[in-house]
Amino acid sequence: MPASLHTILVVAKNTFRETIRNKVLYAILAFAAVYMLFTLFLGSISLGEDLHVIRSLGLAGMYIFGLIITIFLGSSLLYKELERRTLYFVLSKPISRAHLVLGKFLGLLSSVAVCLAGMTVLYLLMVAFKGGGFDSSAILAVFYQLLEMSLLIALTIFFSTFSMPLLSTLYAVLVVYIGHSLDLLMQAVQGASAPVRFFVQLLHYVLPNLAKFDIRSAIIYDASVPLSQALLVVAYAAMYVGLLLCVAVFLFEKREI
Amino acid sequence: MKKVGVAVLLLCAVALAQWGYDASKPPEVFTPLVVFPVPVLRSAGLGLDSALASLIWLNAIQQIGEVYGSYEGLIGDIRTINALDPQFAYPYAFAELVIPSLDPSKLSDAIAIGQRGVEHTADWRIPFYLASTYVVHLDDRENALKYFGIAARTPGIPSRIQATALNYGTQKDKRAQTKAIWESLYESSDDELLREQAYTNLVHIGILEMLEEGIRRYKASKGKNPKEVQDLVRAGLIREVPQDPLGFVYTIADDGTLVPSLPQSHDE
């Protein structure tokens, strides 16, 4: 294994340990579990639409709690190192800033993936308990969600190279909202003037368009997702993550510590 | 121990204070949840349209009759649900089943909801209830035939309901009118599916007429009713028992009435 990859994996392992030991994370996960179990009750008062309600609200809950975990852990990741001054110690070792950023990304992605896996198991058990069998298609929806989360982790790391955790959180939330509204925005400006349409089109292509990671509705109605589209979505996420991490490394290397 | 006693005492006092507060409050007036317009919900909903639709549905069914007063609010909620999650079938079926009976002034709204449901989902309940609405509330047999036909072709319809849908309008007293409706649909429609449906139903009615005529002639010549349709073949009144395009098999009741029924394997 190349030395740089080994270094990245060591940082990732430590980041994973650090984030997974965070007590607030367990509080969020406990809330997520209570919410997921509550959907069983909501299903029971839905006039026979139990499975529909459990599936739609369950997948939505996994998304919302996954989002909270990602933004909560991601926005303070680098800042904490600076605040505790542990960064000086880390960078005095043969670890470059690029290794640190990439390691942090992989470590946090692993933590988020583990949390999502836990919620998915609970969701699958609930669906099976209500007679829906093994909801294998939900795993695809969770995979898409993980792609979105990886993009958001890269985004929060990018923001945290130049801003405080609170501002990073705010920026990340704004990007999530804008990212899910870009398609609607495009529809809204169809009758607008050419410069406005051009500006919105520019945003549409440049900002992270997150609507493509949402296949929950298709999954609820057992619709299939074309392979070509799935590959494009994976490629989009990988390229955007690569872009954000490159810029984050560049900014972090320029930063005076 | 003393501390535990104080804590329990304080807890009881808190519960008592809450009880006193509740008792002193004026009775709460239920107000319906304000549901924002669909574009607002979509832009704020992070793509969780289906979950939002489920929540509005849960809210709507808890408040029926209690808060809405009229069914305007319910119709509005169902329209919002349909717009957010067009494939969520049950709200369409529910609207079609409940609104026409509870508030006949909202009949056109219920029909519009049902028609949208037929367009967006493959749930037999929606066309079946829609056809029933046309029969019961509007006596519109043309549309009833159309939607009973769609319901009968929808996968998952139970065989008994399928038989009811397919047999609609084939009773002797209404058959001529039904036949005329199917003939006009066959001649006037450009919709291939509808034309095929009209043709199949016309063949079905033709078979019913042929077998009933056979029974009548059998009784006239033999002085008794045939026991089964094969008796008509044996008596030389028909060449063979025709195969029904809708899948019906035919038996003959003791009084000579022809009874069409679907075999059990037609389930699903």
Q: What is the DSSP secondary-structure string of A207-249?
A: S--GGGG--HHHHHTT----HHHHHHHHHHHHHHHHHHHHHHH
| pLDDT above 70 for B66 | no
CATH topology of domain B41-168: 1.25.40
**Residue A155 pLDDT:** 92
What single letter denotes the amino acid at residue B199?
Y
Question: Scanning every residue of chain A, which has its alpha carbon at the shortest distance from the alpha carbon of B54?
Answer: A53
Instruction: Tell me the percentage of chain B whose pLDDT exceeds 70.
Output: 87
Residues in B touching A48 (Cβ below 8 Å)? 90
CA B170 to chain centre: 20
**Residue B75 pLDDT:** 86
User: Is A216–B50 a contact, with Cβ atoms under 8 angstroms apart?
Assistant: yes
* CB burial of residue A166 (10 Å; 0-12, 13-18, 19+): exposed
Residue A217 distance to chain B (closest CA, Å): 6
Mutate to test the interface with A, among B36, B40, B43, B54 (most CBs of A within 10 A): B54
Asked whether the ipTM of the predicted complex exceeds the cut of 0.85, the reply is no
User: Is A47–B94 a contact, with Cβ atoms under 8 angstroms apart?
Assistant: yes
Mean pLDDT of A75-89: 75
Residues in A touching B62 (Cβ below 8 Å)? 45
Interface list for B 27-66 with A (CB within 8 A): 39, 42-51, 53-55, 57-58, 61-62
Interface list for B 227-266 with A (CB within 8 A): none
| pLDDT above 70 for B121 | yes
Residue B10 distance to chain A (closest CA, Å): 27
| B214 vs B23 pLDDT, higher one | B214
**Residue A144 pLDDT:** 94
**Residue B268 pLDDT:** 41
**Residue A165 pLDDT:** 84
Mean pLDDT, all residues of chain B:
83
**For helices B192-222 and B141-153, angle between their N-to-C axes, nearest 10 degrees:** 100
Work out the pLDDT band at A257, boundaries 50, 70, 90.
Answer: low
Neighbours of A151 (CB within 10 A): 25
Mean pLDDT of B34-52: 79
Work out the pLDDT band at B34, boundaries 50, 70, 90.
Answer: low
CB B49 within 8 A of CB A217: yes
| Residues B123-165 pLDDT 10s | 998 998 899 889 878 888 889 989 998 998 899 888 877 887 8
CA distance A244 to A252: 12
- Select from A24, A165, A148, A158 the least CA-distant residue to A82: A165
Retrieve residue A43's tokens. 């299903």
User: Is A52–B88 a contact, with Cβ atoms under 8 angstroms apart?
Assistant: yes
Work out the pLDDT band at B68, boundaries 50, 70, 90.
Answer: low
| Residues A169-205 pLDDT 10s | 899 999 998 898 888 888 888 888 889 999 988 888 8
Where do the structural domains in chain B lie, given as residue ranges? 41-168, 171-268
Residues in B touching A216 (Cβ below 8 Å)? 47-48, 50-51
| Residues A226-242 pLDDT 10s | 888 889 999 999 999 99
**Residue B130 pLDDT:** 92
Question: Scanning every residue of chain A, which has its alpha carbon at the shortest distance from the alpha carbon of B44?
Answer: A177
**Residue B32 pLDDT:** 56
Mean pLDDT, all residues of chain A:
89
Residues in B touching A181 (Cβ below 8 Å)? 43
CA distance A179 to A211: 7
**Residue A94 pLDDT:** 77
| A210 vs B74 pLDDT, higher one | A210
| Residues A9-21 pLDDT 10s | 998 999 999 888 8
Work out the pLDDT band at B28, boundaries 50, 70, 90.
Answer: low
Lowest mean pLDDT among A120-124, B73-77, B167-171: B167-171
Mutate to test the interface with B, among A221, A222, A233 (most CBs of B within 10 A): A221
Retrieve residue A106's tokens. 């992989």
User: Is A60–B94 a contact, with Cβ atoms under 8 angstroms apart?
Assistant: no
* CB burial of residue B113 (10 Å; 0-12, 13-18, 19+): buried
Residue B121 distance to chain A (closest CA, Å): 10
User: Is B90–A221 a contact, with Cβ atoms under 8 angstroms apart?
Assistant: no
Mean pLDDT of A85-91: 74
**Residue B267 pLDDT:** 45
| pLDDT above 50 for B266 | no
Work out the pLDDT band at A48, boundaries 50, 70, 90.
Answer: confident
CB B166 within 8 A of CB B182: no
- Select from B237, B234, B175 the least CA-distant residue to B202: B175
| pLDDT above 60 for A104 | yes
Work out the pLDDT band at B201, boundaries 50, 70, 90.
Answer: confident
Interface list for B 66-125 with A (CB within 8 A): 85, 87-88, 90, 94
